[in-house]
Amino acid sequence: MRTQVAIIGAGPAGLLLGHILHRVGIQFVILEQKSREYILGRIRAGVLEQGSVDILHELGLDSDLAERGLTHHGIYLQYEGQRHHIDFLDLVGRTVTIYGQQALVKHLLAEHDRIGSDVRFEVDDVQLHEVEGDAPFVTAVHDGEELRIDCDFVIGSDGYHGVCRPAIPGIRALERSYPYAWLGILSHVPPSTDDLIYALHPSGFAMHSMRSLEVSRLYLQVDPDESIDDWPDDRIWEQLQLRLGTPGWTLHEGAISEKSITPMRSFVASTLEHGRLFLAGDAGHIVPPTGAKGLNSAIADVALLGRSLVAQYGGDEGPLKSYSRSALARQWKVQQFSQWMTEMLHVHRESPDEATRAFRYRTQVGQLEYTTGSRHAQAALAEQYAGLPF
């Protein structure tokens, strides 16, 4: 078969790029290794930057978001038992929206079904060919039959473990692992807060987020090598009450429907392009979740890549040639912010020396006191959290 753009991966990046291309009449096919049920069942990020919301609105893909999304004007930073509100709307005139990646993928896929897009699941043995030349093609196996797709461009939105990034010769992975992980839970209890809470506590970081007005999403800092089996529900709630507690405030408890431990790391590929192959989303970079940037980085990539492909088919090759440079320049700013938030809010336990640990903790408190006490510092946080321009 023949198409213009072959998209590998049906996560939010691949699905959204398909809609961007469909809007201007560029043909595409989306190939996904996992099943449809697996894609729809993955629980991932839940905060959309203002720019991500604007893109979905511009594309007419925000009907479910408008109905179910929760607009937040800021976040709380908590330390030393005190909670401080950072008001994004007041500081920079922008907001964020709580809307789970799972819900976004479901809506994007439903819209692809409605317009009749060619999205294929459970595709095996995907291989890329001739991406350095003018006639790339993709081979795969689908429903037991061999498949060949000739195309103009291949887009790798197939995640960190996908086949596209390894297809780029000499590509380097710039990585950093963190000495802590997040234990995350979903609880069917209404949120106990109006905006997200980020808390630094001597026992470790904690966060109160949400998925809806009926479902809370909460996190605890744990060690990366801990087992979820060592965290019964009672222990989780005990630590959440300890780390998030403030005078006069109540954390409501409920049934836990899902819990898992996720290590934290940063990763950026040295390039996002090779010939006619371009990477987007987790295939090219991963951030620790503290700054809520993973999903938004994927959306930013495909917004830029979509505009570049539209320009390419309109006769302007410049934007596509500069895609990798532009996307990585934005990504490194995102990495800096995510690293800053992570290091400011997580207890550093790796040093065996108690005095060193105490010193680092007090500097974190000092950093939080400066951030919450300076309007300029608050504005810098708000500008980055609510989202850099695409």
Catalytic residue among 79, 99, 198, 219: 198
CA distance 73 to 91: 10
Cα angle vertex 371, ends 368, 375, to 5°?
155
Look up 247 and say whether it is catalytic: no
Look up 289 and say whether it is catalytic: yes
Catalytic residue among 112, 208, 289, 346: 289
Catalytic residue among 19, 274, 285, 293: 293
Look up 72 and say whether it is catalytic: yes
Catalytic residue among 19, 72, 201, 346: 72
Give the active site residues. Answer: 72, 198, 289, 293, 385
